[in-house]
Amino acid sequence: MREKQKMTVGKQRAAGDYIKIKMILFGTLAAGVILTAVFAPYLVPYDPYEQDLGNALLPPGGAHLLGTDRYGRDMLSRVIMGSRTTVFAALLLVAVITVIGSAAGILCGYYGGKLDAFLMRVSDIFLAFPGMVFAIAVASVMSGGILNAVIALACISWPKYARVARSQVLSIRNMPYMAAAKLSGSGTFKMICRHVVPNIAGPVIVTAVLDIGTMMMEIAGLSFLGLGAAPPTAEWGSMMSNGRSMLQTSPWVILAPGTAIFLTVVIFNLVGDTVRDLLDPRQKGR
């Protein structure tokens, strides 16, 4: 029994280095995805928007690695181009709700009182709507478009960040160093920047990174319903929606963008999980 325990003990020491390797690996993959999105126009073998009806619905292989869609457009090029919309929109969305949500949360936690009660009520109302339901409502009213989809999703997602930030602020509000900083005459804004933000950054960042994958799926979902990117924009969700009728005959039209979404979300989820393990090892459970 003692030997077995020694083995477990040795394995655990390596866990810390393990996380660093994972972070580098997944971080590189994520960076790869982002770079693909940034340099998409230079990476595409064909023009994603050029129609070639003579070559419509070609199966994968040969000149077109992922086949062509019903307008003869090269699938690989459309998938690469589509990464721009999904990746940029998701990153923008997460950035916006992190900043706005945290700001609201910090204000609530710091000042408390009526502001806190009011903002929490407001966030309760937004939280009352099941996610997609509200996004559908807002996006449909705003007549589609990817930016409106982002706004819609931002409206329902910010409360989560506000709550995380708020509870973090509440937990450190009574810490001795806060009182010390106040006594030394620090201005409020300076105090928030120097003391509050670094200490609540951890959980907020973890929430944000973990959310990137989910937001990508929601954006793609809205586009799938016709509420996001409009044709002929290459966007993974709308590409899948357009290919629905050809599921049986030309499945690659759906499988290519679908797999792209899947792989991208997997990569960002892996990054998110690793960031969480890095910043909050307690959460993983022993």
Partner 1 sequence: MKKYITRRFLQLIPILFGITFLSFLLMNTGTADSIDVMENNTGGVMSEEEKDILRAELGLDKPLVQQYIIWLGKTVRGDMGESFVSGQPVSALFVSKLPATIGLMITSILLTVFLSVPLGILSAVRQNRITDYLIRFFSFIGNSLPNFFVSLLLIWFFSLKLKLLPVMGNNAGWKSVILPTLTLALSMASRYTRQVRATVLEELNKDYVQGARARGISEKRILYFSVLRASMLTIATLLALSIGSLLGGTAIVESIFMWDGVGKMAVDAITMRDYPVIQVYVIWMAVIYVCVNLFTDMIYHYLDPRIRLGREDG
Partner 2 sequence: MAPLLDVQHVDVSYNGRAVVHDVSFQLEAGEILGIVGESGSGKSTVIRAAMGLLGNTGAVTRGDIYYKGQSVTAAGAEELRRMRGPAMGMIFQNTEASLCPIRSIGDQLFESVCQHEKASREEVRDRALELFDRMRLNDGERILNSYPFELSGGMNQRVGIMMAMVLRPALLFADEPTSALDVTVQAQVVREMMKMRDIYGTGIVVVTHNIGMAEYMADRIAVMYEGRLVEYGRTEDLIHHPKEAYTKRLIGSVLRIDRG
Residue ranges in contact with partner 1 by CB under 8 A: 121-122, 124-126, 128-138, 140-143, 213, 217, 220-221, 224-227, 237, 240-241, 244, 247-248, 251, 254, 258, 261-262, 265-266, 269, 283, 285-286
254 binds, among partner 1, partner 2, none (CB under 5 to 8 A by kind): partner 1
In the bound complex, what is the minimum distance in angstroms from residue 33's beta carbon to partner 1? Answer: 13
94 binds, among partner 1, partner 2, none (CB under 5 to 8 A by kind): none
Q: Which is nearer to partner 1, 9 or 183 (CB)?
A: 9
Q: Is residue 105 left, alpha or beta, with left meaning phi > 0 and alpha meaning psi from -120 to 50?
A: alpha
Strand (E) or helix (H) holding 265: helix 252-279
Q: How far apart are CA 149 and CA 131, in angstroms?
A: 12
Applying CB under 8 A, the site for partner 2 has a residue count of 10
Q: Which is nearer to partner 2, 8 or 174 (CB)?
A: 8
The answer to whether 285 contacts partner 2 (rule: CB under 8 A) is: no
DSSP 8-state secondary structure symbol assigned to residue 50 = -
Give the contact letters, 144-183, x = binds to partner 2 (CB under 8 A), - = no. ----------------------------------------
The answer to whether 282 contacts partner 2 (rule: CB under 8 A) is: no
Q: Which is nearer to partner 2, 14 or 35 (CB)?
A: 14
State how far the alpha carbon of 71 is from the alpha carbons of 8, 44, 154, 215, 283, in Å. 58, 17, 34, 29, 49
Q: Which of 257, 263, 217 is nearest to 73 (CA)?
A: 257
Neighbour tally for 259: CB within 10 Å = 14
- Return the structure tokens found at 68: 């062509």
The answer to whether 17 contacts partner 2 (rule: CB under 8 A) is: no
- Return the structure tokens found at 119: 């903002």
Q: How far apart are CA 240 and CA 229, in angstroms?
A: 12
Strand (E) or helix (H) holding 154: helix 146-173
Q: 142 - beta bridge partners? A: none
Of these, 10, 54, 198, 285, which contacts partner 2 (CB under 8 A)? 10
Residues that bind partner 2 (CB under 8 A): 1-2, 5-6, 8-10, 12-13, 286
